[in-house]
Amino acid sequence: MSNHRELIPEFSGRFIEPFVGSGAVFFTVLPSKGILGDYNQELINTYLALKNNPTLVRKHLKAHAEKHSDSYYYQVRSNAPRGIYSQAARMIYLNRTCFNGLYRVNLRGEFNVPKGTKNTVLLPDDDFSAISSALKGVTFINDDFEVTLSHYKEGDVIYVDPPYTVKHNNNAFVKYNERIFSWEDQERLANMLTQLAESGAKIVISNADHAAVRNLYGNTCWIKDSLSRATVLASDSARRGKTTELLVRSIACIA
């Protein structure tokens, strides 16, 4: 989606995203006002730290870069700092040096992804100050998607990219996703988005390109298309390459 800025309609209000994740679409659109939500508290705290003091986050991340090694990675992975800025640097460090940049936790909520092959901690194009500036007009919500979406007002645009919970395109993370976002959650999300679409909300959704998901958005409020994208998540390189995801957009409809 981040390569398809034209798919986000023009809007006069705020950019609302209840599953912000990496924020790729937000940072492509660069709205002046936004509401970004996620159930992952560590992720929301990382955004807050970058918004409030990007220099301090970079200072902590530089310390990780200087000490980085295989053993140091696992040492950092096993420890959870208390301060928001050290927490943010830890999350960025682990994300950049773990296997395939995954974020996964065990049943105790502990990050458990093994070290990957990449060893670059600070990137040449890192501009934490620019990220901070982009986030100045953003309100963050660490809660269920219903809470974030309940803030919708006329003029806003909504972008939704929930965890995928059906098998499609050799998706190897369905079982993990089902623990954090069930099929019942998918149905609850579709119901709320349909209500918002019926009220005139501008909504763009990306989801698994699967018949079951298409059926969730089956009324006249939606246009559905397949969108081609690259995938790098499969553990087997032979299963990587081009794949598709479902793109759903709201249109004027009658409730």
Residue found under tokens 């999300």: 189
> Of 78-82, 110-114, 251-255, where does mean pLDDT reach its minimum?
251-255
Q: Please report, to the nearest 10 degrees, the dihedral formed by the alpha carbons of residues 217, 223, 224, 229 taken in order.
A: -130
User: What is the arithmetic mean of pLDDT over 119-140?
Assistant: 97
pLDDT over threshold 80, residue 159: yes
Q: Which band of pLDDT confidence, cut at 50, 70 and 90, is reported for residue 182? A: confident
Question: What's the pLDDT tens digit per position in 217-251?
Answer: 987 889 999 988 665 555 555 545 577 899 999 99
Query: Looking at the predicted structure, is the pLDDT value of residue 255 above 80?
Result: no
Expressed in angstroms, the distance from the first to the final Cα of the chain is: 28
Quick one: how many helices (H) and strands (E) in the chain? Answer: 10, 7
d(CA 107, CA 54): 31
pLDDT at position 2 over 70: no
**119 token code pair:** 């060893």
* Continuous H helices in the chain: 24-29, 41-52, 54-67, 70-77, 84-97, 128-134, 145-149, 174-180, 183-198, 211-216
pLDDT at 174 over 60: no
Q: Does the pLDDT of residue 119 top 80, yes or no?
A: yes
Better pLDDT: 174 or 243: 243
Q: Using one digit for the tens of pLDDT, what is the confidence trace for 39-97?
A: 999 999 999 999 999 999 999 999 999 999 999 999 999 998 999 999 999 999 999 99
pLDDT surpasses 70 at 121: yes
Structure-model confidence comparison of residues 88 and 107, the more confident one = 88
Residue 255 DSSP code: -
DSSP string, 13-67: S-EEESS-TT-HHHHHH--SSEEEE-S-HHHHHHHHHHHH-HHHHHHHHHHHHHH
| CA 44 to the chain's CA centroid | 11
Residue range 15-26: mean pLDDT, rounded: 96
Q: Does the pLDDT value for residue 151 go beyond 90? A: yes
CB-based contacts of 31-36 (< 8 A; 24+ apart in sequence): 31/137, 32/137, 33/137, 33/138, 34/137, 34/138, 34/139, 35/138, 35/139, 35/140, 35/141, 35/148, 35/151, 36/138, 36/139, 36/140, 36/141, 36/148
| Mean pLDDT (whole number) for 196-212 | 93
What is the percent of the chain where pLDDT is above 90?
Answer: 71
pLDDT at 161 over 90: yes
Tell me the C-alpha distance between 109 and 132, whole Å.
28
Note the pLDDT of residue 194.
95
The dihedral through the CA atoms of 124, 125, 127, 128 has a sign that is: negative
